[in-house]
Amino acid sequence: MRERYEIRIRGYLGPLLRTAVGKLRYRTLPYQSTIRGRLTDAGLERLLDRLDRSGIEVVCLSRVPAESSAADGVGTGARSQDRAEAV
């Protein structure tokens, strides 16, 4: 079963790491990046492993409630880079 997650990491999510997030949404902020989307337990484990092997520090990992209006997206702004999630 896929759950909705938000993963906050320290630093910039560069081109190579953006490929690691697949079709999840990501947003780059000044000092951190946010990755959101639906993942299976195995998918979450693979993504966290990939981030760890890349030396990326995970600041926060949260399960986002299904009823949350922000569950599938992140805000837009001049500095954000959003990509649609595959469901």
pLDDT digits (tens, 9 = 90+) for 26-66: 998 889 999 999 999 999 999 999 999 989 999 999 999 87
Helix intervals (H) in the chain: 15-20, 41-53
Q: Could you tell me the pLDDT band of residue 67, with boundaries at 50, 70 and 90?
A: low
What beta strand segments (E) does 1-87 contain?
3-10, 25-28, 32-39, 58-63
The CATH code of domain 3-63 reads: 3.30.70.1560
Give the Å distances, CA to CA, from 14 to 2, 21, 35, 56. Answer: 26, 11, 13, 11
Q: What is the pLDDT of residue 58?
A: 96
DSSP letter for 24, please.
Answer: S
Domain boundaries, the chain: 3-63
Question: What is this structure's pTM?
Answer: 0.71
Instruction: For residue 69, give both structure tokens.
Output: 């209006």
Q: Which residue has the higher pLDDT, 37 or 16?
A: 37
